[in-house]
Chains A and B, each alone.
Chain A
Amino acid sequence: MGLTWGLENIWLVPILPLLGSIINGVFGRYLSKPVIGAVACGSTGLSFFVAVLAFAGLISQNPAYRVYENVLFTWIESGSFVAEAGIQLDPLSGIWLLIVTGVGFLIHIYSIGYMRHEDGYPRYFSYLNLFMFSMLLLVLGNNFLLMFIGWEGVGLCSYLLIGYYYDKDSAADAGKKAFIMNRVGDFGFLLAIMWIFTIFGSIDYTTVFTAANATLEYGGFAVTGITLLLFLGAVGKSAQVPLYTWLPDAMEGPTPVSALIHAATMVTAGVYMVCRCAVLFNLAPVSMVTVAMIGAFTAVFAATMGLYQNDIKRVLAYSTVSQLGYMFLACGVGAYVAAVFHVMTHAFFKACLFLGSGSVIHGMSGEQDMRQMGGLKDKMPVTHLTFLISTLAIAGIPLFAGFFSKDEILLSVFMGHTSGHFFFWFLATVAAALTAFYMFRLYYMTFAGELRAEDKHVRDHVHESPYVMTVPLLVLAFLAVIGGFFGFPIIKGAHALNNFMAPMFNTVGAPEHPHPSLMVELILMGLSVGVAVAGILTARHFYQTKPEAATAMANKEGLIHKIYVTMKNKYYIDELYDALFVNPAVRISRNFLWKIFDVKIIDGFVNALAAMVKEIGSTARLTQTGLIRNYALAMVAGCVFLIGFWLLAIGV
């Protein structure tokens, strides 16, 4: 088994989870829970194994041009339109491949423990495996259409898994919300693909990106339009302003789903797409600024909304939106490597945080309100340790993974060439401080102090989770510690990850890699660590040392109270969307489409047709006398008429 074995058999990577999904989906009801878990985890584990081999094969290739493309078969052929089912493995898809299969595998294992008491066990694992298949298709496809199919597939699985507890109205609604909001983005993505086809006559990555420089004018209308439409798709999938409101609601799904789909993998698909199309984005400076602007704004906006949430998972959801904003900000200033780096470290620590919160919820008998928690430090030592590590990582404390990636983004933004990059840097730094604050607020409210739960059953029942849940936590926490060293050293430019990825992104129009002086780097680094520590200390002051101070401050009438209420209510954005889009749509549907168009026009047309047929029938009925002689007479008359007509016609 040489180094190329993995590359040649890379088609196994997506196919294995698909098989697992089919087995559990079709035969799951006849299988016992351990078998279902083994099928799901086994298929994902094997997929991870093949992915690692394929990645090793990729690394062994020539560093200047590491691309492995394998066309499996021609999928659609219609006139000049050809879509192949092909696999493309390069540094970008390689990184995602490892994240998706690796983190996915850990979360599958965790799910065995977390979902143990739930109904619909085979359904859950079937969907989860189907998600793995779709996500791998998205990442590994060699053309835009395959990416789109995967894109829709993950959207579908997201919908199915958010609505996993379908007998709960809020879960079913959240699923629909996610699906419909993603439709808005997908519409842009699809238009962009069509536009690309009309310009290039192909949807193949290699063809399009090779021809891009010669075909598209730098900053021209076409490339700007295409990239903005692509970014619209990314905004929907990656929950950026203004299409972010579905992600916090998506927390209605089981917690491992939130970890896998709504934190580590699916929501980063937008970042993947923007990085994949870096060639196009580099040609469109207007789109780049838009990406950076939306990213920076989302990073701060979502962070402020996360400040006063009391649901443990919602805090993490807003944090995810905020971190995704960071990634887009990095893309927008051309620091694609930093974006990918942050995707990777974020996958580790955010998956760990979500799984940790799942462990807490599991131990608290399903309680998600942090006001009921507290003091879990001693009762759940492993969860506490891993959670603390990940929290330090997301806050950007040195030596943890998040520090390296976040610092690289801040540095790239500071040194960027995009207009207004200093302002973006300022926003990102504010977001970093807010992140440190709300994450440690979460930490102190959950793990420090005294247990506040009132329910005696819950109080007595608090326990550490089983090994099947804590081992994935430990692995992810370990990765959250060492993950940053892939991007080490961050001082003086290039590092391992950069060397690996950079050949993909250095295309025409790409911003030059910043070469800041050591002094600037150290000052920026000190600053970002400083704001993080400040955030942590503030959180400690309000939620550990003097919990009553926070309440007093929030309840005191005045500006602070107003800001607090606004943030707590998420700026009333959901209410705004309801008023602007949902309610008008409901009203139009009810008052016009249903009561007028459907009832009067569609039903009216059908009923009129039926009434007409009935009328004709009841008239024609009279000719059926039942008297044979009448029929015979009609026949004779007909014959006489026809023959007479014929005789006249031939002129006898």
Chain B
Amino acid sequence: MESALAANQFLALSAILFVIGVAGVLTRRNVIVVMMSIELMLNAGNLVFITFSHYLNDMSGHVFVFMVMAVAAAEAAVGLAIALAMFKNRETVDVDEVNLMKG
């Protein structure tokens, strides 16, 4: 069965999600929110993969999505661990407070 929706609509949704993610990373200071925004960007990417996989009848897009999910899971684990450690040490989750590396 052909999808009623055109590919453009999926891609547009993906782009919107990605821009929301970028805006989140750039504007929010809470490290948890920043990580959630990154997840949003990753999933925007996933949506593009799936879209093209569907329209091109090529399963490799699915494979990449699984791969991205695995990476995202790992990233979440590591990122949350860092956030936890950060909170333990500095009692804050504000990324702007963590700027020891400035030149």
> Which residues of A approach B to under 8 Å, CB–CB?
620-629, 632-633, 636
The interface stretch among B6-14, B63-71, B73-81, B93-101 is B93-101
Nearest chain B CB to A652 CB, angstrom units: 14
- Considering the chains assembled together, what is the distance between the CA atoms of A632 and B25 in angstroms? 8
Contacts of B99 in A (CB 8 A): 625-627
Query: Given A632-B25, A632-B26, A633-B26, are A622 and B103 also a contact pair (CB < 8 Å)?
Result: yes
Residue B22 interfacial (CB < 8 Å): yes
Give bound CA distance, A625 to B98, whole Å: 11
CB-contacts of B9-35 with A (<8 A): 22, 25-27, 29, 34
Can you add 8 more A-B contacts, CB < 8 Å, to A625-B99, A626-B99, A626-B102? A624-B101, A625-B103, A626-B98, A626-B103, A627-B95, A627-B96, A628-B34, A636-B22
* Count of chain B residues with a beta carbon within 8 Å of a chain A beta carbon: 14
* Complex CA–CA separation, A627 to B95 (angstroms): 7
Verify A621–B103 contact, CB threshold 8 A.
yes
Q: List 27 A-B contacts (CB under 8 A).
A: A620-B103, A622-B103, A623-B103, A624-B101, A624-B102, A624-B103, A625-B99, A625-B102, A625-B103, A626-B98, A626-B100, A626-B102, A626-B103, A627-B95, A627-B99, A627-B102, A628-B34, A628-B95, A628-B98, A629-B25, A629-B26, A629-B27, A632-B25, A632-B26, A633-B26, A636-B22, A636-B26
Distance of B94 from chain A, by nearest CB (Å): 11
Say whether, besides A636-B22, A636-B26, A629 and B102 are in contact (CB < 8 Å): no
Contact A626 B26 (CB under 8 A): no
Q: What is the chain B residue whose CB lies nearest that of A632?
A: B25
Residues on B with beta carbons closer than 8 Å to the beta carbon of A627: 95-96, 99, 102
5 pairs of A and B residues whose beta carbons are closest in the complex: A626-B102, A624-B103, A626-B99, A621-B103, A626-B101
CB nearest to B37 among chain A residues: A632
- Least CB separation from A636: chain B residue: B22
User: From residue A635, how far is it (CB to closest CB) to chain B in Å?
Assistant: 10
Instruction: Tell me if A's interface is mostly helix, strand, loop or mixed.
Output: helix
Query: What residues on A are CB-neighbors of B22 within 8 Å?
Result: 636
Number of residue pairs A-B, CB distance < 8 angstroms = 34
Which chain A residues lie closer than 8 Å to B29 at the CB level? Answer: 629
Known: A636-B22, A636-B26. A629 touches B103 (CB 8 A): no
Residues of chain B within 8 A (CB-CB) of A622 are: 103
Cα(A629)–Cα(B30), bound, Å: 11
In the complex, which residues of chain A have a beta carbon less than 8 angstroms from the beta carbon of B101? 624, 626
Question: Which chain B residue lies CB-closest to A617?
Answer: B103
Instruction: Kindly state the separation between the CA atoms of A620 and B101 in the bound complex, as whole angstroms.
Output: 14
List the B residue with the shortest CB-CB distance to A623.
B103
Chain B: minimal CB distance from A639 (Å): 9
> For B25, what are the chain A residues with a Cβ–Cβ distance below 8 Å?
629, 632
Q: With the chains together, A625 CA to B96 CA distance in Å? A: 10
When distances are taken between beta carbons in the complex, the residues of chain B under 8 Å from A629 are 25-27, 29, 95-96
The answer for the CA separation of A632 and B100 in the assembled complex, in Å, is 17
Q: How far is the CB of A622 from chain B (nearest CB, A)?
A: 7
Q: How far is the CB of A595 from chain B (nearest CB, A)?
A: 39
**Smallest distance from the beta carbon of A603 to chain B beta carbons, Å?**
29
Report the separation of the CA atoms of residues A624 and B101 in the bound assembly, to the nearest whole angstrom: 8
Identity of the chain A residue whose Cβ is nearest the Cβ of B38 in the assembled complex: A632
* Residues of B with C-beta under 8 A to A628: 34, 95, 98
A625 to B102 CA separation, bound complex (whole angstroms):
4
Complex CA–CA separation, A627 to B102 (angstroms) = 7
- Smallest CB–CB gap between A243 and chain B, Å? 63
Closest residue of chain A to B19, judged by CB? A636
Bound complex: CA A87 to CA B58 (Å): 79
Task: Please name the residue on chain A nearest to B28 by beta carbon.
Answer: A629
With both chains docked as a complex, state the minimum distance between the C-beta of A236 and any C-beta of chain B, in angstroms. 61
**Closest chain A residue to B101, Cβ basis:** A626
Task: Find chain B residues with CB under 8 A from A625 CB.
Answer: 99, 102-103
In the bound complex, CA of A237 to CA of B84 (Å): 82
Q: Which residues of B contact A636 (CB under 8 A)?
A: 22, 26
Q: Which residues of B contact A624 (CB under 8 A)?
A: 101-103
* Complex CA–CA separation, A625 to B34 (angstroms): 18
Rounded to whole angstroms, the CA-CA distance of A623 and B34 in the bound complex is 22
- The residues of B that contact A621 with a CB separation of less than 8 Å are 103
Residues of A within 8 A of B100 (CB): 626
Max chain B C-beta neighbours (<10 A), residue from A622, A632, A633: A632
CB distance from B22 to the nearest CB of A (A): 6
A309 to chain B, nearest CB (A): 74
A311 to chain B, nearest CB (A): 71
> In the complex, what's the smallest C-beta–C-beta distance from B96 to chain A, in angstroms?
6
| Chain B residues near A620 (CB-CB < 8 A) | 103
**Most chain-A CB neighbours within 10 Å: which of B26, B34, B95, B98?**
B26
Cα distance A414–B12 in the bound complex, in angstroms: 114
Q: What's the Cα separation between A628 and B27 when bound, in Å?
A: 11
Task: Give CA–CA (A450, B96) in the complex, Å.
Answer: 101
B residues near A626, Cβ cutoff 8 Å: 98-103
Q: Bound complex: CA of A109 vs CA of B103, how far in Å?
A: 72
- Distance A626 CA – B29 CA, assembled complex (angstroms): 14
A633 to B27, CA, bound (A): 10
Shortest beta-carbon distance from A228 to chain B in Å: 68
Point out the residues of chain A lying under 8 angstroms from B98, CB to CB.
626, 628
Please measure, in the bound complex, the distance between the C-alpha atom of A597 and the C-alpha atom of B72, giving whole angstroms.
62
Bound Cα distance A632, B38 (Å): 11
CA of A48 to CA of B38 in the docked complex: distance in angstroms? 87
- A633 nearest CB neighbor, chain B only: B26
For A633, the chain B residues whose CB sits under 8 A away are: 26
How near does chain B come to A636, taking the closest CB pair, in angstroms? 6
A632 cross-chain contacts in B, Cβ below 8 A: 25-26
Complex Cα spacing A50 to B36, Å: 90
Closest-by-CB residue of A relative to B103 is: A624
Q: Which residues of A contact B103 (CB under 8 A)?
A: 620-626
A383 shortest CB reach to chain B, Å: 81
Closest to B102 in A: A626
Closest Cβ neighbor of B99 among chain A residues: A626
Instruction: Tell me the minimal C-beta distance from B74 to chain A in angstroms.
Output: 19
Determine which residue in B34, B98, B99, B100 has the highest number of CB atoms from chain A within 10 A of its CB, and name it. Answer: B99
In the complex, A628→B95 CA distance in Å? 7
